[in-house]
Amino acid sequence: MNENVSVQNPVNLRLPDGSVRTFDGPVTGTTLAADIGPGLLKAALAIKVNGEMWDLTREIEADADVSIVTKRDTEDALDILRHDCAHVMAEAVQELFPGTQVTIGPNIQDGFFYDFARDKPFTEDDLAVIEKRMHEIVARDEDITREVWDRDEAIAYFKKIGEHYKAEIISDLPEGEPITVYRQGEWLDLCRGPHLPSTGKLGDAFKLMKVAGAYWRGDSKNAMLTRIYGTCWTDKKELKAYLHRLEEAEKRDHRKLGREMDLFHLQEEAQGSVFWHPQGYTIWLQMEKYIRSRLQGAGYNEIKTPQLLDSKFWEQSGHWSKFRENMFVVPDEIPSTEEDAPVVSANARLMALKPMNCPAHVQVFKQGIKSYRDLPIRFAEFGCCHRNEAHGALHGLMRVRQMTQDDAHIFCREDQITSESVAFCDLLASVYRDLGFPEFKVLLATRPETRAGTDETWDKAEGALEAALKAAGLEYDYAPGEGAFYGPKLEFHLSDAIGRTWQCGTLQLDFVLPERLDASFVGEDGNKHRPVMLHRAILGTLERFIGIMIEHYAGRMPLWLAPTQAVVTPITSDADDYAKEVFDALEAAGLRAKLDLRNEKINYKVREHSHAKVPAILVVGGREAEQKTVSVRRLGSNDQSVAPLAEVVAGLTAEAEMPSGKA
């Protein structure tokens, strides 16, 4: 027997259906797909090996659970398609604009971007040219192959070709990490992968969207780069649907509608804070009134706590070390009268505008002795909070620096966690139904890498939330590592009218903060015990949720929320007196009505009030005055109905009732 002949062990690959295919030695995904069938080989994009995405051409050397990824596997397919689309864009850019450096280009929600270093920044006018070349690269069907390079050789190569950013990236990688390069035809790039087998597999369902400036590695001290954003989908039908959603989203943009409906404005002198106009503040007050009534019905006690708190509370809670850079800190000292004295002395006592309400709620809980019989205690607050969000992250009502949370904290015993969590989930589902969001998704966010508390505590907390979800009968997925630093949480993601998802509600289970802030109750055994703290919100912040509502309803708010519920206008001045009578009847019924007696044509007035999204326009003339009727035109309809005044008032009054949560 020749001892130099190597003997390869068989490789057993288990497919999703449980069947196993055995090969004599290492095998690629391409070979596996061909072994299963020519149809699968043609459709294959990548392979999953023990849950990890690999190139089809990479050899599998040991037994594994595998699945071939095709465009039917939407999430995985989109991930690799968008990754490759970014690379095809980079190749197109460097073909068209020699000397441009390629830096970093990750996937993002609904697409991808790539940052480029170039003396002359790209403009929107360049996108069509780049996109045209991308389609040509796809048509060339260039093979994409993976290569492992020596670290020093890779750095030297990229420096030699003028790709200094790539050389810097490699230098910063941990020692011993493989340096992988993907060759795409004649073009290559540093990348971990995986990638498609060839550019032809990408297809044509992509589009470049916009350009923007971006600092290298997000640091304003570094060079400014040009970022090109794009989107990519599995087929042209999906791309068309996405572009339609964008068009619809633009029409629904709450900033645009806010101006048209005179709801609010923002200005440079108060970045991230909202100036609410009477119309917009009416929506705010109605939302606050509604959620307050639901909380009262669920056994919450509303409190009010200070906005400015001593830094010691934030140090004790752990927020000072984790969130201080996002907090507005205020020195608490008498300014010196000395001319050369510093504005803030080194020993100044520090205060901070609260970024959240939880430490303050613990202070209220700690007043007086609490018994196990007193629990659960549910404190609610429409707490005004401040967070020093980056200027570039601010976005209308959706991302602000001053916010009001529909915040509440439940202090309970461990044996009450399940019942309190189920009650909260039921309340949240009911509120979302009332507000027009019957569909939502739940994620269980587990322990992050940086966290407070022991693993034993986290095991207990995560297990308790999972048990609560099962008791509530809710389906859920996991968000690994996305928990708060002091405990796991449930995230509630609702879907709006055009299919976008928004994470609004949260339920966070916390064993840590009561310990750190020394909260306790007297148990049945007469000893002190720590309460469990449930941090919870349904809307999240009123600002953001109102922005979501405006976009969800495209400004056509439900009657109970509409700032102006009805406008009364006469056809001619002869009907002014009757118009006033109709207006008085609406006001007497508690409806928010306006009277429009302007000497304008009726079609002009109807068009103007429709543009302002008034739900009901009541038109009266001589005939209506004589018969004591009203002609009603509803928003979004060209039809109008005529009915007796009393019937119209009764109908609008019933429709304008605030939801109660009852099915």
Residues annotated as binding site for Zn(2+)? 358, 409, 535
Q: Which of these is catalytic: 255, 319, 399, 535? A: 535
Q: Which amino acid is at 105?
A: G
Helical axes 576-588 vs 645-655, angle rounded to 10°: 40
Nearest of 410, 442, 418, 412 to residue 429 by alpha carbon = 442
| Catalytic-residue membership of 191 | no
Residues 311, 332: contact at Cβ < 8 Å? no
How far is it between the farthest Cα atoms of the chain?
Answer: 115
- State the angle between helix axes of 278-297 and 542-552 in degrees (0 to 180), rounded to the nearest 10: 110
CB-hemisphere CA count at 13 Å for 387? 17
Catalytic: 94? no
Give yes or no: 310 in active site.
no
Of residues 93, 169, 105, the one with CA closest to residue 131: 93
Report how far apart, in Å, the C-alpha atoms of 396 and of each of 75, 266, 552 are.
30, 7, 15
CB-based contact 485:448 (threshold 8 Å)? yes
What type of residue is 384? C
- The DSSP bridge partners found for residue 489 are 445, 508
Could you tell me which residues are annotated as the binding site?
358, 409, 535
Q: Which of 453, 458, 515, 518 is nearest to 489 (CA)?
A: 458
Decide: helix, strand or coil at residue 377.
strand
The contacts of residue 590 (CB under 8 Å, 6+ apart) are 653, 656
- The catalytic residue among 83, 255, 409, 530 is 409
d(CA 426, CA 299): 14
Q: Is 496 a catalytic residue?
A: no
Q: ω before 570 within 30° of 0 (cis)?
A: no
Contact 39, 71 (CB under 8 A): no
- CA angle, 407 as apex, 402 and 413 as ends, to 5°? 150
Strands 264-265 and 275-276: antiparallel
**Residue 86 in contact with residue 107, Cβ under 8 Å?**
yes
**Pairing label, strands 59-60, 27-28:** antiparallel
Interacting residues of 214 by C-beta distance below 8 A, sequence separation 6+: 115, 224, 225, 226, 227
- List the structure tokens of 23: 């090969």
Q: Which candidate, 186, 106, 190, places its Cα nearest to that of 148?
A: 190
Q: Are strands 528-529 and 521-522 parallel, antiparallel or unpaired?
A: antiparallel
Per annotation, catalytic residue among 84, 126, 407, 434: 407
Q: Which amino acid is at 566?
A: A
* 210 in catalytic set: no
DSSP string, 147-175: EEE-HHHHHHHHHHTT-HHHHHHHHHSPT
- The active-site residue, picked from 254, 387, 530, 605, is 387
Q: Cis ω on the peptide bond leading into residue 106 (within 30° of 0)?
A: no
Q: Which of 85, 232, 358, 425 is catalytic?
A: 358
Q: Catalytic site residue 265? A: no
* Enzyme catalytic residues: 358, 387, 405, 407, 409, 489, 535
